[in-house]
Amino acid sequence: MKGGFSAPGDYIYFKSQVPLHKIPIGSKQWRYYDFGPKVVPPLICLPGTAGTADVYYKQIMSLSMKGYRVISVDIPRVWNHHEWIQAFEKFLDAIDVHHQKLVDMPNILAASCLPSSILFSFELAGNIVLLLTSISIFDSVGLTPSFLLKRYVLTGIRDGPLEPFIADSVDFVVSQVETLSRDDLASRLSLTVDAASVGPLMLSDSSITIMDTNDFCAIPQQLKDQVTERYPGARQAYLKSGGDFPFLSRPDEVNLHLQLHLRRVGVEAHVPSIPKDDVGGSSSDQNDRRRGTDDAPEDDRTDYSGPSGPTTTSEPPLVPEGQDSGNFENQLLNNAYLSSIIIGECLVPLMLQAILENRQTIAASNAVLNFTCELEMAVERGNNHSSLKIHVVVVKKDDVSETFITHEKSSGV
Amino acid sequence: MPSRRRALLKVIILGDSGYVNKKFSNQYKATIGADFLTKEVQFEDRLFTLQIWDTAGQERFQSLGVAFYRGADCCVLVYDVNVMKSFDNLNNWREEFLIQASPSDPENFPFVVIGNKIDVDGGNSRVVSEKKARAWCASKGNIPYFETSAKEGTNVEDAFQVIAKNALKSGEEEEIYLPDTVDVASSSQQRSTGCEC
């Protein structure tokens, strides 16, 4: 990695501006970025199996400059969905996201597939932004040496000549995977193969954005189709190209879609009169914010690197099954199985399941965040893997509780 | 594998009038002001996905930056036949687009012009004649021209067919940029043995 990859300049700048937090919570070590105005409901980015919190640096840079708060986390070392969800809840408590009274309607935003990125935006009940990641399937992870694990994690990423920006995005992700320890890798793969079913989502399709690239990707088309069929009313934000990691290769477009999504679900950017938390802190920020990325040289720099939306690194689906969300059966996700039996031998087992439970929300509105995706794992001859990343972002909001209830009723019938 | 993908065509709608398609406007939330819509269009037995960005003439959309202009396959300029100023501004919108999107071949970039709201007041309040509009279109390289009533959906489908066709034309010419490959592996590897750290 030393020889083949040198960190991009904007990443170096990012590292110099945005503090990396490392804290132990419970028995888990957390590594994350939390940047942008704290008064704004956060967009939480969860990386897929191939990636770290750093893969979303372009989103963190750009969106924070525009007045949004972005949190990007590394998946802690957990071994199943249940553990992952519990750990995540503790994390949210620890960083005080739960305690903002805004909650009740979480907006889940962004899902991404590892190899390709599918961004789902959901409106959830909760204050949190969750990011779910990609999944890969393997026969066994237990004793596999780390170099093999790395290869698994990166399975599906296309070889061969690539457009420069896409090639750079792959290089960056690979360099991030290189930083993972063997245990981290094994944990992710375990999550990936940990089958779980997703309970119903209490979200209206209109609060979901699915982002995908229209060129090649490691995720089978059938699987993608199933995802979109599952959420027929979801906004489909296609990028013409971008490969597997559009948040790195097409940051400005991804960030644009993220902004639109955040607006749609009612998250307003907070533009301080004095740039404070923002990156770049120069006075020109404000102008730039207004004008968007168009001009301002400074912006260009940041924007260029910054604007990509939340990157999702691969994370295992959040929760296994059905935690309390029993009520929401009527919700869209009833059909909780995104099971994909892909024709031929391509069984792509994608099971993404995440259940987010927001305790406060529950207490307050009786609503539970439930997000589950199920991927069916398939093993095609021997060792096969497929991966699907889903990023879910949940944002806390005010006023949401009402909306939330409405959804509940309507879906409940 | 990727061959199954449906062609994706990006269409940008600009103009003072906005809201060409009533389906559009219903999908907007007022707080957003502008957004995109995806629409399936069949053209010559092939299915296409049109990703249509409508600015609704709102300044706020400008704040989104150049990203939404990027990769546009077709630009639709809309004016209100009842408002002279919206017609006068067509040229500004066209130039704005060419600057922002900076297409590789600006002279031949596919535009479509739509005169909207022809149904208002039974056409009595109309101030821009079809003849005048067509003359302007002709002067800009024979831009296809349509008159629609967004409210009643008149001609909207026809317009989208042409939009798809024109967008397709430019979309297919586009090729993925692959730089010539220079193989530096051998030399760099040798070098790396020594001074890498």
Task: Give a yes or no: residue A213 inside a domain.
Answer: yes
Cα-flanking dihedrals φ and ψ of residue B194, to 5°? Answer: -90, -60
Contact B179/A164, CB-based, under 8 Å? Answer: yes
**A249: which chain B residues are within 8 Å (Cβ-Cβ)?**
none
CA–CA–CA angle A21, A26, A27 (5° rounding): 95
Domain B2-195 has CATH 1.10.760.10: no
Averaged pLDDT score across all residues of chain A: 56
Query: The domain that contains A51 carries what CATH number?
Result: 3.40.50.1820
SS3 B38: strand
Least confident of A69-73, A355-359, B178-182: A355-359
Number of residue pairs across A and B with CB atoms under 8 Å? Answer: 80
Q: Name which of B1, B4, B8 is nearest A240 (Cβ-Cβ).
A: B8
Least confident of A74-83, A207-216, A391-400: A391-400
Interface of B with A in 8-67 (CB under 8 A): 8, 10, 29, 31-32, 35-36, 38, 49, 51, 62-67
How many residues are given for chain B? 197
Who wins on pLDDT, A36 or A391? A36
Contact B197/A2, CB-based, under 8 Å? Answer: yes
Least confident of A243-247, A276-280, A363-367, A390-394: A363-367
SS3 A137: coil
From B38's Cα to the closest Cα of chain A, the distance in A is 7
**Mean pLDDT across the stretch B160-172?**
72
Please write down the long-range contacts of A30-34, taking CB distance under 8 Å and 24 or more positions apart.
A30/A73, A30/A74, A30/A76, A30/A91, A30/A94, A31/A73, A31/A74, A31/A76, A32/A71, A32/A72, A32/A73, A32/A74, A32/A91, A32/A95, A33/A57, A33/A60, A33/A70, A33/A71, A33/A72, A33/A73, A34/A69, A34/A70, A34/A71, A34/A95
Report DSSP letters for B64-130, one per residue.
Answer: T-GGGTTT-SEEEEEEETT-HHHHHTHHHHHHHHHHHH--S-GGG--EEEEEE-TTGGGGTT--S-H
SS3 B4: helix
Residue A2 contacts B where some CB pair is shorter than 8 Å: yes
Distances (CA, A) of A224 to A347, A354, A392, B47: 13, 18, 16, 17
- How many alpha carbons lie under 13 Å from residue A152 in its C-beta half-sphere? 27
Residue B3 contacts A where some CB pair is shorter than 8 Å: no
**Mean pLDDT across the stretch A141-147?**
44
Residue A219 is predicted with a pLDDT of: 61
Chain B residue nearest residue A161, CA to CA? B178
Contact between A321 and A314 under an 8 Å Cβ cutoff? The reply is no
Distances (CA, A) of A339 to A175, A319, B47: 32, 16, 26
**A294: which chain B residues are within 8 Å (Cβ-Cβ)?**
62, 65-66, 100
Contact B196/A3, CB-based, under 8 Å? Answer: yes
**A217: which chain B residues are within 8 Å (Cβ-Cβ)?**
2
Contact between A326 and B86 under an 8 Å Cβ cutoff? The reply is no
Contact A163/B176, CB-based, under 8 Å? Answer: yes
Residue A262 contacts B where some CB pair is shorter than 8 Å: no
Token pair for A402: 């009402």
Which residues are within 8 A (CB) of A126 and not within 5 positions of it... i.e. 6 or more apart? A103, A104, A105, A106, A356, A358, A360, A361, A369, A394, A396
Distance CA(A186)–CA(A124), nearest Å, equals 30
| Nearest by Cα to A217 from A242, A239, A199, A195 | A242
Confidence of residue B104 (pLDDT cuts 50, 70, 90): confident
Residue A256 contacts B where some CB pair is shorter than 8 Å: yes
Contact between A66 and A114 under an 8 Å Cβ cutoff? The reply is no
Distances (CA, A) of A389 to A30, A48, A133, A392, B137: 20, 6, 4, 10, 47
**A161: which chain B residues are within 8 Å (Cβ-Cβ)?**
178, 181
Task: Give a yes or no: residue A3 inside a domain.
Answer: no
This complex has an ipTM of: 0.71
The helices-and-strands tally (H runs, E runs) of chain A is 13, 10
Distances (CA, A) of B111 to A13, A220, A291, B58, B141: 40, 35, 25, 20, 9
**B32: which chain A residues are within 8 Å (Cβ-Cβ)?**
260, 263-264
How many residues are given for chain A? 413
Chain A residue nearest residue B10, CA to CA? A240
Residue A289 contacts B where some CB pair is shorter than 8 Å: yes
Contact between A236 and B40 under an 8 Å Cβ cutoff? The reply is no
Residue A192 is predicted with a pLDDT of: 62
Contact between A217 and A225 under an 8 Å Cβ cutoff? The reply is no
Task: Give a yes or no: residue A198 inside a domain.
Answer: yes
From A318's Cα to the closest Cα of chain B, the distance in A is 29
Mutate to test the interface with B, among A256, A259, A261 (most CBs of B within 10 A): A256
Contact between A396 and A100 under an 8 Å Cβ cutoff? The reply is yes
Range from A4-8, A178-182, A381-385, B53-57 that averages highest in pLDDT: A178-182
Contact B63/A292, CB-based, under 8 Å? Answer: yes
Residue B107 contacts A where some CB pair is shorter than 8 Å: no
From A237's Cα to the closest Cα of chain B, the distance in A is 8
DSSP 8-state class, residue A19? P
Is the model's pLDDT at A312 over the cut of 50? no
**Annotated domain spans of chain B:** 2-195
- Phi-psi region for residue A294, left (φ > 0), alpha (ψ -120 to 50) or beta? alpha
Distances (CA, A) of A344 to A106, A113, A220, A340, A380: 38, 21, 12, 12, 9
Q: What percent of chain A has pLDDT over 90?
A: 7
Q: What is the number of structural domains in chain A?
A: 1
Which residues are within 8 A (CB) of B15 and not within 5 positions of it... i.e. 6 or more apart? B55, B57, B76, B77, B78, B79, B86, B89, B90, B93, B114
Task: Give a yes or no: residue A370 inside a domain.
Answer: yes
Which helix (H) or strand (E) segment holds residue A191: the answer is helix A182-193
Residue A212 is predicted with a pLDDT of: 76
From A215's Cα to the closest Cα of chain B, the distance in A is 7
**A264: which chain B residues are within 8 Å (Cβ-Cβ)?**
29, 32, 35
Token pair for A241: 């190209």
Range of the domain at A242: 9-412
Residue A252 contacts B where some CB pair is shorter than 8 Å: yes
